[in-house]
């Protein structure tokens, strides 16, 4: 990017982050790529301690919660720097879905919820997850949901028995793609609490310990050949009459969709800038290989016009995509996520598309090495394919952008 250099402080922070990722995360990548999850988790614990000690902890959060207190666009730059390695965000406690959950609880949790759920995650002593998508329903339409949470003894449509706060939520449902459930301490469950309400007022968020009775771990999903483990896994679970205190409701009853929407804006910046970081690493791997690999004695791969085009197109697309995300980050800060929602949707499919193309080019440039797990490319190639699917598939986001655009004419 040719953009104006960042402010001195950010500049220095970015340098520190890049150095940290290069020194601490990149060397551990082989553990990840070889599925050596136990050794990885152990090594990452040390790296996380180091990050905490070095002041590189909770970079996404406000200063008064132990975070770096960066404005969203500046955090975006940090997220890009962390994205250089698949381990960067985890190392600094900025991994999804914890980061989204922390933001959610910072904004909406009661003091009791903060103490019980939020603080351990802020400290890195616990992990959390987010249970929303259901196997039976298209993720592209989150309003159709079968999981329910009812207040024990509630009279249908009337006042709940436990309205005093002494009741219990009883949850029943089936969720999948619950990232990091394996080993997590608690989860946010999206469930229908008010089936008679208008479509966008039916669901609420409930905090559920993963160890609660009735929480059934069906399986870690085998995603692109790998079921992973711990934070690096996605689970299918069932909630079989799970009971939690009434006070575990997060935010207002019926406010599930609104909270999910709020969670999305900054989360989108986080993800998109992480993808930009992935693109930068892919370009780096591509350039290095192109210069080092001989296709004939004395003739480097980099002399091939096709390879040069891949590099140039990747550079241009990545730089344009970065500016688009940062611009949207500014819009969110200035106008709020709701006002910026066309942009928030547009950057999703734009950057996910760029990511896919850059990774594809890099794989091709590396040839046989590109499909091997000797670099993180093949890992990203297969796992980031989901970027165009999760958090709303491209098709949904294009629909959002078109609707906003057409609205101007009505």
Per CB under 8 A, which of residues 349..378 are in contact with its own copies?
A: 349-350, 363-364, 367-368, 370-374, 378
Q: Which of 19, 27, 34, 46 binds its own copies (CB under 8 A)?
A: 34
Give Cβ neighbours of residue 284 (< 8 Å, ≥ 6 apart).
Answer: none
Position 177 contacts its own copies (CB under 8 A): yes
Quote the least distance from Cβ 108 to its own copies, whole Å: 26
Position 108 contacts its own copies (CB under 8 A): no
Quote the least distance from Cβ 88 to its own copies, whole Å: 20
> d(Cα 35, Cα 38) in Å, to the nearest integer?
9
> d(Cα 222, Cα 152) in Å, to the nearest integer?
35
- Select from 87-95, 106-114, 124-132, 301-309 the region that touches its own copies (CB under 8 A): 301-309
Position 381 contacts its own copies (CB under 8 A): yes
- For 208-234, the DSSP string reads EETTSTTEEEEEE--BTTB--BTTB-E
Position 222 contacts its own copies (CB under 8 A): yes
Q: Which of 6, 106, 385, 391 binds its own copies (CB under 8 A)?
A: 385
* 59 vs 325 by CB, closer to its own copies: 325
* 50 vs 383 by CB, closer to its own copies: 383
Position 8 contacts its own copies (CB under 8 A): no
Give the 3-state secondary structure of residue 326: helix
296 phi, psi to nearest 5 deg? -160, 160
* 57 vs 176 by CB, closer to its own copies: 176
Using DSSP bridges, classify how beta strands 186-192 and 234-245 pair: parallel, antiparallel or unpaired: unpaired
Position 319 contacts its own copies (CB under 8 A): yes
- Select from 89-97, 180-188, 259-267, 343-351 the region that touches its own copies (CB under 8 A): 343-351
> Site residues for its own copies, window 138-157 (CB under 8 A)?
138-141, 144
> d(Cα 327, Cα 158) in Å, to the nearest integer?
46
Q: Which of 215, 340, 355, 358 binds its own copies (CB under 8 A)?
A: 340
> d(Cα 323, Cα 332) in Å, to the nearest integer?
14
> d(Cα 349, Cα 80) in Å, to the nearest integer?
17
Question: What is the token pair recorded at 221?
Answer: 């999903």
Position 321 contacts its own copies (CB under 8 A): yes
Q: Which of 69, 330, 357, 391 binds its own copies (CB under 8 A)?
A: 330
Identify the H or E element spanning 148.
strand 148-151
Position 163 contacts its own copies (CB under 8 A): no
Position 86 contacts its own copies (CB under 8 A): no
Beta strands in 157-277 (DSSP E): 168-179, 186-192, 203-209, 215-220, 234-245, 249-250
* CA distances, 234 to each of 36, 220, 229, 252 (Å): 17, 6, 8, 28
C-beta atoms surrounding 344 within 10 Å: 27
User: What's the CA dihedral at 18, 22, 24, 30 to 10 degrees?
Assistant: 140
Q: Which of 17, 278, 328, 362 binds its own copies (CB under 8 A)?
A: 328
| Owner of token pair 């950010």 | 10
Quote the least distance from Cβ 267 to its own copies, whole Å: 17
Position 15 contacts its own copies (CB under 8 A): no
8 Å CB contact between 182 and 217: yes
Quote the least distance from Cβ 79 to its own copies, whole Å: 18
Position 14 contacts its own copies (CB under 8 A): no
* 108 vs 281 by CB, closer to its own copies: 281
Q: Which of 50, 114, 293, 357 binds its own copies (CB under 8 A)?
A: 293
């Amino acid at each position: 990017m040719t953009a104006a250099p960042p402010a001195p402080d950010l500049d220095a922070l970015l340098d520190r982050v890049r150095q940290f990722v290069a020194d601490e995360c990149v060397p551990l990548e082989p553990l990840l790529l070889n599925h050596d999850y136990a050794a990885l988790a152990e090594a990452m614990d040390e790296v996380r301690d180091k990050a905490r000690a070095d002041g590189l902890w909770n970079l996404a959060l406000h200063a008064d919660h132990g975070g770096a207190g960066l404005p969203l666009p500046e955090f975006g730059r940090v997220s890009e720097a962390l994205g250089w390695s698949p381990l960067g965000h985890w190392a600094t406690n900025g991994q999804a879905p914890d980061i989204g959950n922390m933001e959610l609880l910072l904004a909406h949790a009661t003091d009791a919820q903060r103490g019980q759920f939020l603080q351990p995650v802020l400290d890195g002593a616990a992990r959390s997850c987010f249970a929303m998508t259901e196997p039976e329903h298209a993720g592209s339409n989150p309003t159709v949901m079968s999981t329910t949470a009812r207040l024990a003894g509630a009279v249908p449509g009337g006042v709940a028995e436990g309205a005093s706060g002494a009741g219990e939520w009883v949850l029943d449902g089936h969720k999948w793609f619950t990232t990091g459930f394996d080993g997590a301490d608690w989860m946010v469950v999206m469930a229908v609490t008010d089936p008679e309400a208008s479509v966008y007022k039916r669901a609420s968020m409930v905090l559920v310990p993963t160890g609660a009775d009735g929480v059934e771990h069906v399986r870690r999903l085998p995603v692109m050949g790998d079921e992973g483990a711990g934070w690096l896994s996605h689970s299918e679970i069932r909630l079989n009459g799970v009971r939690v205190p009434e006070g575990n409701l997060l935010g207002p009853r019926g406010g599930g969709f609104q909270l999910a929407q709020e969670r999305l804006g900054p989360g989108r910046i986080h993800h998109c800038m992480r993808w930009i970081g992935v693109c930068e690493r892919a370009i780096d791997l591509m350039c290095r290989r192109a210069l080092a690999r001989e296709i004939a004695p004395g003739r480097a791969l980099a002399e091939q016009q096709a390879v040069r085009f891949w590099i140039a197109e990747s550079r241009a697309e990545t730089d344009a995509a970065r500016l688009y995300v940062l611009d949207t980050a500014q819009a969110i800060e200035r106008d709020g996520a709701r006002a910026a929602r066309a942009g928030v949707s547009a950057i999703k499919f734009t950057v996910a598309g760029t990511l896919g193309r850059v990774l594809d080019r890099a794989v091709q440039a590396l040839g046989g090495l590109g499909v091997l797990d000797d670099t993180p490319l093949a890992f990203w190639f297969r796992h980031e394919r989901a970027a165009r699917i999760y958090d709303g598939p491209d098709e949904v986001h294009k629909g959002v952008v078109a609707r906003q655009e057409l609205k101007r004419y009505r």
